[in-house]
Amino acid sequence: MEPLPEPAGAPLAVTPAEPPAETPAETPAETPAETPADTPAETAAPAAIACRDVSFDYGSIRALADVSFTVQPGEFATLVGANGAGKSTLYALLSGLFAPGAGQVSVAGIDLRRHPTRALARLGIVFQRSTLDGDLSVRRNLRYFADLQGIPSDVARVRIDDALRRHAIADVADRRADRLSGGQRRRVELARSLLHDPTVLLMDEATAGLDGPSRRDFVAHVRSLVDALGVSVLWATHLADEVRPSDVTHLLDRGRLLAAGPLAELLERHGANDIESLTTMLRADPAGGARRS
């Protein structure tokens, strides 16, 4: 059976994360079950997320075809595609909800299929639809998640108080989750996803349902946290204005990865004005998409 995860013994601090190469769980001495293929070289940190030739079918419909990409440690990467491009399917595979028909997914160098609990311990996830328990308070929702992560009570209390302050939701801590505004719910879900101090944060259309100001505020908030915590983020969106020119962008279309790289570079290389025209261009000529290794 898969080894159980190792909960933290110390509260989360608002300081940049340690380089992943220093993490004991990734050294062979601590994890005899880990094969050399899963374990990075001592000098090189493993990719925060590595997807290799991942395919997935819904019956006879191919949802993802040979998708390969990586997200580097501390990187804010975006996964951009129109509705139906395969983003949510890809997120279901990255979070272990579905198993890929072919290919491999690893998180911080850990194969998700072979060591799911250890890989999931490194993932924080904000789903497209709210997954808060509506009839529980914000604090109780966070506590439930901390328990699921196996975090000790005393540590959980400190982290929850810290998260409530950091995400500016302390004033609604005792309010039922179904009485929160859309923006507040997203902040609670973000706070929850970071409670166990993950290496990678998956955000699947996390601004869905938010109005313009709330959306901008939320995106800025996440970006500020990335800088503070050093966590890697894979941000899925179909909204071009959520992507900065410097963001490493993975362009997904009809289940295929068309291109990957900093958005500004991609646009310049293909002479496109925006993401939509870039997609149209690359859809017609898929070989023109530059894959980022």
Partner 1 sequence: MTTHVADAPRRDRRAPFRALRGIVVREALRFVHQRGRFFSALVRPLVWLFIFAAGFRSVLGVSIIEPYSTYIRYEEYIAPGLVGMILLFNGMQSSLSMVYDRESGSMRVLLTSPMPRAWLLVCKLVAGVSVALLQVYVFLAIAWFWDVRPPLAGYVTALPALLLAGLMLGALGLALSSFIRQLENFAGVMNFVIFPMFFASSALYPLWKIEESSEWLYVLCTINPFTHAVELVRFAMYASLSLSAAAVTALFTAVFLGIALYGYDPSRGATAARARR
Residues that bind partner 1 (CB under 8 A): 1-10, 12-13, 15-18, 23-26, 30, 56-59, 92, 95-99, 108, 113, 116-118, 120-123, 125, 127, 129-133, 135-136, 140, 143-153, 196-199, 229-230
Beta-carbon contacts of residue 139 (< 8 Å; ≥ 6 apart):
160, 164, 173, 174
Instruction: Supply the DSSP symbol for 244.
Output: -
Nearest to partner 1 of 41, 240 (CB atom): 41
Least distance (Å) from partner 1 to the CB of residue 233? 16
Spell out the residues 6+ positions from residue 238 whose beta carbon is closer than 8 angstroms to its own. 80, 81, 82, 83, 85, 87, 205
Q: How far is the CB of 28 from partner 1 (least distance, A)?
A: 14
Backbone angles phi, psi at 31, to 5 degrees: -130, 80
CB closer to partner 1, 113 vs 270: 113
Q: Minimum Å distance from CB 120 to partner 1? A: 4
Strand 256-262's sheet: what is its strand order? 123-126, 200-204, 232-237, 76-80, 248-253, 256-262
What whole-number distance in Å separates Cα of residue 278 and Cα of residue 43?
Answer: 37
Q: For residues 148 and 165, give the distance between their C-alpha atoms in angstroms, rounded to a whole number.
A: 22
CB of 206 to partner 1, least distance (A): 13
Residue 99 CB, shortest distance to partner 1, in Å, is 3
| Dist. CA 291–CA 293, nearest whole Å | 6
State the Cα–Cα distance between residues 12 and 157, nearest whole angstrom.
11
- Assign residue 103 a region (left: φ > 0; alpha: ψ between -120 and 50; beta: otherwise): left
Q: Least separation, in Å, of the C-beta of 72 and partner 1?
A: 17
* Residue 238 burial (C-beta neighbours within 10 Å; 0-12, 13-18, 19+): middle
Which residue type sits at 31?
A: T
For residue 277, the minimal CB distance to partner 1 (Å) is 33
Strands (E), 36-122: 49-58, 61-71, 76-80, 102-107, 110-111
